[in-house]
Amino acid sequence: MSENTTAARTVVSVDRGKLDVQALVLLAVLLAAGFILNFTVGRMISSISGGLISPEFIISAFCLTILVVRPNVGQALIIGLISAAVIQLTTTSPFVDFAAEGIAAMLMAVIVRAGIEGPAKRFVPLVGSFVTTVVSGAVFMLIRIAMVGAASELAAAMLPVVVLTAVFNAILVSALYLPIRKALGLSD
C-alpha cells in the first residue's frame, strides 16, 4: 500500500434496538446537554414567555435517544427513569417525574417502532416528541392535581404550558434528529 492511501473514516454508531454502553453514553451526553439547556436557555425562554413555554430539554434528550437507539418498550422505560433521575436535581415536585417520564418514554418507543418503517417515517420525530411531551406533561399535571387539589385552577394554568412546550420540543427534536443521525453515521 502506498503512503498516499487515505485511511477509511471511522464512524461510531449505536446499535439500534440495543440498550448497550454506546446507547447509554448517547443518553448521558444528550441528558447533560438537556440539563445545561434547562438552566440556561429554558429559563430564559420561560421568563421571556411569561411562563407560557417552559422547554424541557430532558424530554427532548430522551426522545432523541429513543429515535436513534430504537429500544424496546422495557428499555425505553429505563431511559425514561434515568431521565427522571436527572430531572430530580431541578424539580419542585420530587418523584412525580418518574411516572411521567417512564410512561412518556415507553410511549415514544411505541411510536418510533410503529412509525419508523411506514410511509410517514419523516414525521415520527415531530409527532412522537409532541405526543410524548403532552403525555409527560399530562401525567405530571394529573399527579400534581391529586397531590394539591385545585384541579380546575391547576389544569387551566398548566395545560397551555404543556401544549406550547410540546410544540417547542417537537420542533427541536425534528431539527436535531437528522444531524445527530448523520453525525453517528446511521442510515435508515
Q: What is the pLDDT of residue 10?
A: 39
Q: Tell me the CATH number at 162.
A: 1.10.1760.20
Is 134 domain-assigned? yes
Domain boundaries, position 129: 21-183
Burial of 133 (0-12, 13-18, 19+ CB in 10 A): buried
Is 159 domain-assigned? yes
Q: What is the pLDDT of residue 13?
A: 45
Is 120 domain-assigned? yes
- % the chain with pLDDT above 90: 53
Residue 137 host element (H or E): helix 124-148
**3 pLDDT higher than 50:** no
Task: Give the pLDDT confidence of 113-155 residue by residue, as tens digits.
Answer: 998 777 778 899 999 999 999 999 999 989 988 888 777 787 8
Is 11 domain-assigned? no
Helices (H), 4-123: 21-37, 43-48, 57-69, 73-87, 96-115
Burial of 169 (0-12, 13-18, 19+ CB in 10 A): buried
Other CB atoms closer than 10 Å to residue 110's CB: what's the count?
17
Is 1 domain-assigned? no
**38 pLDDT higher than 70:** yes
Task: Give the pLDDT confidence of 8-33 residue by residue, as tens digits.
Answer: 443 444 456 777 888 889 999 999 99
Is 10 domain-assigned? no
- Euclidean distance between CA atoms 101 and 83, whole angstroms: 7
Most confident of 73-77, 112-116, 184-188: 73-77
- Euclidean distance between CA atoms 87 and 18, whole angstroms: 24
Is 8 domain-assigned? no
Is 145 domain-assigned? yes
Domains in the chain, number: 1
**53 pLDDT higher than 80:** no
